[in-house]
Amino acid sequence: MDKQKEKVLNCCDELKDETIKLLSDLVKIPSENPAYGYDEKYYREKGYTEKYYDEPVTRGGETRVANYLKPILGELCDKSMIIAKDPLRANAIGIIESKHNKTSLALNAHIDTVAVGFHEKWTENGGNPFNPVIKNGRMYGRGTTDDKGPAAAMIMAVKAIKESGIDLKGELQIHCTVGEESGDGKYLGPGWFLYENPKFKTDACIVAEASAPPKRLGVCLASGGITCLRIHIQGKAVHSAMRYRTIRAGYEGFDIGVNAMDLAFKIYRALLELEQQWANKKDITGLAPIGFASIPIGVAGGHPGGLGPPSFLADSIILSAGIWRNPMDNVNEIKEDITRVINGVCETDYWLREHPPRLEWWQDWAPFILEKDHPLSKTVSNAYRDVLGEEPQYMCWQPTTDARWYQDAGVPSIIIGPGDYRVAHAYNEYIMLDEIPDAMKIYALSIMDWLGY
């Protein structure tokens, strides 16, 4: 390794405390993605709005983070800017212009987080998810792993290059983007600005996201895909005291009432059985964990004609699922599998045969895939070897990611970063602080090797 690279690596170590301070400052700024459901009444009654939030409660945090980052990017880059389709949901971008050739690279991290939920469940943070607490080598707080820790490491890797006096030959862009947590990145983040303005389209992109498990700082060449489904199940309301007459032999049955909850349970059990069968699916990329493809029905809601008290049989139920698939699975085959199983349930039920559920396929977020022998993969893999002294473990980044929007724009992408997404979206989310300098070093060496210096 040459002396310039050694200087940069040493600078990454020297900047560790400053990077942790940047992460801490980012965690302190609430930037929950407004697509998530907030109980705003609860927040207000608890006094959270006065303590932690600027108005409006559910929007604007992403822009506040972008505004915080803009001067930091301005110190590192030739240009820094705020770009936004929605002024309350702004992206921060910095550009170090090319001085010698046309090679270019983007670093991406998203600045939105999922909702924090009930603050009192943040026991490691004293009930305040925006209070970055350090204990036993971990920083706790919303966004530490997903995705403010990787964002801080990404930005400070660029600072290490600058403070080491490295003159990059190609153009480097830093993209701090919005909407990743809900798929809005397609419309408000990189999926929007890459098409809106060609100057943001680079030759490659490293997406900074927590890339463990199964291994710390895994090299992610693909992601899972998710297709979203709502199953609308129709019942027939009647007084709940008449329940026995709808289910016992010798009475009127569904002529007087049908509990949609019973039907939902039948469908749920059938999909659970299909999910177990999917455990035998083989991921032809060899990157996804065994049994990854799944059908987690995460939301169920119903009502007796819109009335609250449980004195009715429910006349409708909606089951909602984000259906996960392996990187190369065909989404149409997934839909056919689901539809076939639900139709099979309908064939065995007198009511469902005449009143089949309505399937609402409302969003699909496709995987991204990068070939193992792609130059970007080789660049990041070589940086990994130089920093950690071992062979990288290639893997599938199991959630969905903004890397897809870069791929759709013709920009090959890869994921690597500090953090463990087993704690992402969870109460008491945390990041292991010793991962941050190693991630900075991998980013820095990747930048130098890709762009030249």
Question: What CATH number did the domain enclosing 21 receive?
Answer: 3.40.630.10
Residues 239 and 309 in one domain: yes
Residues 346 and 379 in one domain: no
Residues 65 and 148 in one domain: yes
> Is residue 56 over pLDDT 60?
no
Q: Any idea of the CA torsion for 33, 39, 43, 49, to the nearest 10 degrees?
A: 40
- Residue at a domain's end among 311, 330, 363: 363
Print the SS3 string covering 260-287: HHHHHHHHHHHHHHHHHHHCCCCCCCCC
Q: What is the pLDDT of residues 390-399, one digit of tens each?
A: 999 999 999 8
Residues 268 and 384 in one domain: no
Q: Distance between CA atoms of 53 and 61, rounded to whole angstroms?
A: 8
Q: What is the pLDDT of residues 312-339, one digit of tens each?
A: 888 999 999 999 999 999 999 999 999 9
Mean per-residue pLDDT over the chain, rounded = 93
Q: By C-alpha distance, which of 101, 96, 68, 102 is closest to 82?
A: 68
pLDDT at 62: 95
Residue 324 sits in a domain whose CATH number is 3.30.70.360
Lookup: tokens for 287: 């990157």
Q: Distance between CA atoms of 444 and 314, rounded to whole angstroms?
A: 58
- Residue at a domain's end among 335, 363, 391: 363
pLDDT at 214: 86
Which amino acid would we find at residue 178?
V
Residues 214 and 253 in one domain: no
> Is residue 220 over pLDDT 60?
yes
pLDDT at 60: 86
Between 129 and 36, whose confidence is greater?
129
Question: What DSSP character marks residue 124?
Answer: G
pLDDT at 117: 86
Residue 304 banded pLDDT, cuts 50, 70, 90? low
Which amino acid would we find at residue 32?
E
Residues 340 and 302 in one domain: yes
Per the structure, the complete domain to which residue 9 belongs is given by 3-223+367-451
Domain count within the chain:
2
pLDDT at 1: 82
pLDDT at 301: 85
Lookup: tokens for 404: 């897809």
pLDDT at 96: 97
- Residue at a domain's end among 343, 363, 383: 363
pLDDT at 393: 92
> Is residue 385 over pLDDT 60?
yes
Residues 76 and 143 in one domain: yes
Q: By C-alpha distance, which of 195, 181, 199, 253 is closest to 399?
A: 181
Determine if the peptide bond prior to 147 is cis (ω within 30°): yes
pLDDT at 46: 67
pLDDT at 312: 86
Share above pLDDT 90 across residues of the chain, in percent, rounded to a whole number: 85
Residues 144 and 280 in one domain: no
> Is residue 406 over pLDDT 70?
yes
> Is residue 229 over pLDDT 60?
yes
pLDDT at 38: 65
Between 271 and 102, whose confidence is greater?
271
> Is residue 57 over pLDDT 60?
no
pLDDT at 48: 66
Residues 151 and 272 in one domain: no
pLDDT at 70: 98
Lookup: tokens for 114: 């999922």
* Mean pLDDT of the region 210-229: 95
Which amino acid would we find at residue 41?
K
Q: What is the pLDDT of residues 158-190, one digit of tens each?
A: 999 999 999 999 999 999 999 999 999 999 999
Residues 112 and 142 in one domain: yes
Q: Distance between CA atoms of 262 and 313, rounded to whole angstroms?
A: 10
Q: What is the pLDDT of residues 346-372, one digit of tens each?
A: 999 999 999 999 999 998 999 999 999
* Mean pLDDT of the region 342-346: 98
pLDDT at 321: 95
Least confident range of 187-196, 211-220, 294-303, 305-314 = 305-314
Residues 116 and 141 in one domain: yes
Using alpha carbons, list the distances in angstroms from residue 289 to 294, 307, 312, 384: 12, 44, 44, 22
Instruction: Quote the strand ranges of 198-241, DSSP E.
Output: 205-207, 219-223, 225-234
Q: What is the pLDDT of residues 108-146, one digit of tens each?
A: 999 999 999 888 999 999 999 999 999 999 999 999 999
Residues 353 and 238 in one domain: yes
Residue 154 banded pLDDT, cuts 50, 70, 90? very high
Question: Half-sphere exposure of 398 toward its Cβ, with a 13 Å CA cutoff?
Answer: 17
